[in-house]
Each structure stands twice: as structure tokens, then as C-alpha cells.
Structure 1
Amino acid sequence: MDETEVVVRAVREVGEDTVALELETPPAFDARPGQFVQIRGEVDGEAITRHYTLSSPDVFESRSNGSSDESEGGAETFEITVGVDPEGDLSPWLADREAGDTVGVDGPYGEAYYEGEESVVLLAGGPGVGPAVGIGERAVADGHDAVVVYQDDAPAHEDRLRALSDRGATVVMTDRALADDERVRETLREATGQLFVYGFADFLDAAEEALAESGHDFADAKAENFGPS
């Protein structure tokens, strides 16, 4: 999909310095949980673009007439999760949006997305919790198993993670290095399924080490590197 102006439906806080933007699904938008989009905003007269990974479980095709068919996977809105850096050039602007404002959306992009796997093992660092919770919710809704390992000293989406746990998913949150947390090591040793890893470069390095120590091969993971931390 080429860049399209979409309407902001809602902006809500989901953690410390973290917001979720609910965006209206544009016509012919076809994405999967775990993919990312390019978001454009006009900040002080300058066009600024950044990439954000989808964090909603239902992010599928919207019909060309503007309607959506949820029976075929359609959804009227989709969500991105934004970590707000007060010194950032786009994230504070996004956090200040209100319902009815618009942003530019281009995409989706990325190959690290959910394809209906019967069991998923999701490792998330920092903003990687967005795609992890979206994929986890989708997998559980499909009747599949989900394991979420989330590393952050100021966690976001805690309500959705609790709900995932209540629905039978295994959820481990830690503020320690993955390899130093016995709960993480034990969970990964017992986990089976498609691996997904989302986070900044240093987290991917830590995840690779933790997976290797637990008998997994990082090369088997669908991984998205968010760049330097």
C-alpha cells in the first residue's frame, strides 16, 4: 500500500513513556501481526517518518469501499505502540495526537510476522512488547499455545499481558538480563514452537545467547531488529 492519510481514533497510555495509537484501517490494507509500517508526521513544518511495528492481533485487509469484513479477518482499526523519547523528533508529536487527527501510513513491511503457527515463543525487549503481545493474543484466539518472555525495567501493556496469562499463555516478565533470570532460562528450556524475537540490537544479542543456552537456535527465529538502543 502506498502512503495514505489515516485518521487517529484514539491515543492511550500503556506504560511509562509509552502510548498506543489506534489508527483507522485504510482501504486495501493487508498486514499481519508482527509486521511494521512507516508513519509520517508533519512536525514544525517538516515531514518526519519512522517505523513502528503493529501491536494489534487483528490487522488484516480492509475492503476497497472502506468497509471491513471481520468474518474474513477484517478490522476497522489497527494499533501501533510508541515509546516516547522526550528528545525524539516524532514520538512526542505522535503522543500528542488526538482523535480525528491524521498521520501518513505506508506499508506494511517485514517478514517476522505470525502465519498461524500452532505454537509461538515470543521474546521481547522494550518496545518489542508491541508485536509480541499482538501475536500472542492472535495465537491464543486461534486456539494455539503462546509463550511470552518480556524484558524491560518499565513494562508496558501489563493489562494485556495479564489477560494473556489468564487465557492460558505463559508470560514471564523480567527487568534482569535474560541469561541471568532462572525463570527465563527454565521457561525457554521447556518452550517449543516458532521463535519470534523483537527489540533493539543489544536485546537481540542477549536473546541469541539465552536461546542458545536453552537449546534453541536463533537462526530459526523470526527476528526484527529495531536498530541501536
Structure 2
Amino acid sequence: MKNSYLIALVLPLIMLSACGDDESLTVVSPKQISLHKGEQSQIEVISESPVRYGSMDDFHASVDDNGLITANYVGDTRIGVKNGSGQDYVDVKVIPVSTMLIEPYHSDFTIRKDIIIKMYGDGYAINGNTITYQLSKMGASASFTFSFAGEKDVLQASEVALAQGTEIAEVEYFLGERYKPVDGEERLYQDTMDGGAGTVYVRLKETGDGVITITYSTSR
């Protein structure tokens, strides 16, 4: 009778332990990886049950059902790895090949002119609703121009003009590492996959006299 009681007590614990083992998950490949656009990396895991994968930001890197990561555009994201109650992650940094120029601030188009001035200082020229900074020692970037609108002088667009002699093909490569080309639009890019709310559009232009500009705004 005593043995029967012990079996009845211990058996559920053994079963619970076995279930816990089934849910264990270990990522055995590197958990921090750096890739260039288009490169791939396979997540290797030890798991007794099916594993699911998901990227926190497909724009930077995506992952398929088998754990194969593909680097899309420059930036950072995290890949989640899960099997039931077990979970882990892999941090992915997509790094650029080209660093030919410095981009102007274009992350938030709700900030005011005074914030931009705090970022870049007082050495600017005013032309209506725009301010322009002449640059030096910033790669191919020759000047930054910021446009504002409304009573609160809210940022509407950021623009970088490039130094004379810059090759348009090099600029296209630089932007192509960082932004998704907009379908059906020449030299227009976006910083999201779907072009939804909050998307920043990046337009590359070349004038007849060879001046190249890149403009960032939430308008196409």
C-alpha cells in the first residue's frame, strides 16, 4: 500500500519533468550576428518540439519557417525563437558596405525647428521657412537643409545636397542598402515594407548642372 502511495505521488512529477524537457529550447548558433544586405544566416536550435520563428522588424531582417534569416536593410532587429513555453532570441545587425555620406535627421517629422537647431547648432542660413547648414568633413554631404511649417515650425522635410563630383550610382547603392525602392517610382525609396502610416519617403534627384540631392519627408 505504501509503495502504491509513493508511485502515485512520484509519477505525476516524472511526467511533469518529461513535459518540461519537451518544451526546452536552446539556440546553439550565435545569438548576435552581423550581416550585409542580402546575406543569410541559419539559426540552429536544440528542441524536442516544433519551433516557430518571427522577426520584430521584417524591414531590417526576416526569417522563414526553418529559421533562415535574410538581411534586408541596414538596421537592427531581434528574431524570436519559440516552442510552446520555451523561448529564446537572436539579435541581428544589418551593416552597410557604403558609408559615403552622412544623412540629415529624418526620424521624427513632428519635432520643431528649435530642436533641430539644438542638434546642429547656430551656424545656419535662413531662407523663408528653411534653414541650411554648410558641412565639412562629412563624406559626400555638402549641406543639410530643413524645411518647417505652421505656427510651431514643425519639421516637414530634410534634405542633403552632395558634393560636386559625386557619382549618382554610388548614391543609389548607398540608399539601396538602407531603404526599399517604391514600386513604379524612379529613385524613390521608403523606410517601411508596406508604405503604411509613418513611412518616410526618400527621393533622389540630379539636376541638369550635376547637383545631387536626397530629400526625406512623409509625403511622396
Which TM bucket (shorter chain)?
under 0.3
- TM-score by structure 2 length? 0.26
- TM-score by structure 1 length? 0.26
- Name whichever structure is richer in strand by fraction: 2
Rg larger in structure: 2
- Name whichever structure is richer in helix by fraction: 1
